[in-house]
Amino acid sequence: MRKDNQSSVSEFLLLGLPIWMKNQDIYYTLFLVMYLTTVLGNLLIILLIRVDSHLHTPMYFFLSHLAFSDVSFSSVTVPKMLTNMQTQSQSISYAGCISQVYCVLLFGGLDSFLLTSMAYDRYVAICHPLHYITIMNQNLCFLLVTVSWVLSCTSALLHTLLLVSLSFCGENTLPHFFCDLSTLLKLSSSDTTVNEWVILIEGSVATTLPFICILVSYGHIGSTILRVPSTKGIYKAFSTCGSHLSVVSLYYGAIIGLYFFPSSNNSNDKDVIVSLLYTLVSPMLNPFIYSLRNRDMKGVLVNILSRGKFSPR
């Protein structure tokens, strides 16, 4: 909890999405359907991986954690946004706002590290297929997921502790639908130099470095695929990476648009829309990408539906 002399603000006002009031009911229904689809789709992925032994592989192990992260990521922001749209209440408590910042940073960072682990898994599977079982053993998979969680928690906690040390006096209106860290820093009456430097340095580690690792992995994968003499082999290799590449493009495309091409000081609308893309749209599309483009997932789903009940094989 913050001390009273650190901040005179007990709550913040979230302005929400830049949409006309008369269209709010339409958008509320749309976003509610999208959120429910996100939750049900990702939980279905977790369930399919859990109940079918054929999906007990490193790739699907990482995917189950990614699905959980996506559900959590959306659940941190979207329910509050929908509640505010329905009740016309824009307030969020100081503690609620700080908690939201922590969770957004936690699951956003976790997505980045998990996508990197999945890229490494694809790299080993395609570039070193004979050693895949030896390299991607159970211990390494658990280690990669554990490190992803630890790094994400540590990063989120660092930003949160620096945030609660700031003072917020007077202005408490956030032109956003959730408590975004960079937007909160603009409202602070304290010096935010340290916070901004930490964001720059930590952002390089938690976002830029994983993205570079993914690019390097797929650079090696592409080089290996091009040396395959068989067209069928090339197609098979691309099909195993297509789903992951699609998710990576959605996730990092939104982040690049938000942080490398920010909107002007006069308009925050683009930033809000892009934030909606990676907090709701991307997590919603991930289950469709992995189920529609993945033969194993489709096969398991068809088998379960044909049996009419969920039971392990």
pLDDT value of position 6:
45
Does the pLDDT of residue 61 top 90, yes or no? Answer: yes
* 174 phi/psi in degrees, rounded to 5: -105, 120
Least confident among 41-50, 98-107, 271-280: 271-280
Q: In degrees to the nearest 10, what's the CA dihedral of 54, 283, 94, 28? A: -130
Cβ partners under 8 Å of residue 130, min gap 6: none
What number of other Cβ atoms are within 10 A of residue 106's Cβ?
23
How many helices and strands (H and E) does the chain possess?
A: 12, 3
Does the pLDDT of residue 110 top 90, yes or no? Answer: yes
Mean pLDDT of the chain: 83
Question: Any bridge partners for residue 13, and if so which?
Answer: 91, 173
CA atoms of 210 and 214, how far apart (whole Å): 6
Q: E strand or H helix at 174, and its extent?
A: strand 173-174
Q: Are 241 and 122 in contact (CB under 8 A)?
A: yes
Where residue 153 falls among pLDDT bands split at 50, 70, 90? very high
Q: Once rounded to an integer, what is the mean pLDDT over residues 53-75?
A: 90
